[in-house]
Homo-oligomer: A and B are copies of this chain.
Amino acid sequence: MPKKIIENSENYQPGLSIDCVIFGFHDNQLKVLLIKTPFDEKWSLPGGFIPIEEDIDTAAVTVLKERTGMQGIFLRQFATFGRVKRNDLDFGNAVLDHYDISREDGKWFTQRFITIGYYALIDFLKAVPQKENSQEIIEWIDHKEVPELILDHREILDKALNTLRIELNLMPVGYNLLPEKFTIPQLQKLYETILDRKLDRRNFLRKITNIGILNKLDEKKSNVAHKAPNLYTFDTDKYKEVLKNGLNQGW
Contact = CB atoms under 8 A, between A and B. Distances in A.
Secondary structure at the A interface, as helix, strand, loop or mixed, is mixed
A150 interface: no
Contacts of A54: 84
Contacts of A168: 250-251
Contacts of A195: 251
A18 to B, nearest CB: 10
A80 B83 contact: no
Contacts of A16: 15-16, 114
Can you tell how many copies of this chain the complex includes? 2
A43 B237 CA distance: 39
A207 B204 CA distance: 19
Contact of A15 (B14, B84, B246, B251): B14
A217 interface: no
Interface of A: 13-16, 50, 52-57, 77, 79-80, 82-84, 112, 114, 116, 166, 168-170, 191, 195, 199, 203-204, 207, 246, 249-251
Given A56-B80, A80-B80, A169-B249, 20 more contacts: A13-B15, A13-B114, A15-B15, A15-B16, A50-B82, A52-B112, A53-B84, A55-B82, A57-B83, A77-B80, A80-B116, A82-B116, A166-B170, A166-B246, A168-B251, A169-B250, A169-B251, A191-B251, A199-B251, A207-B251
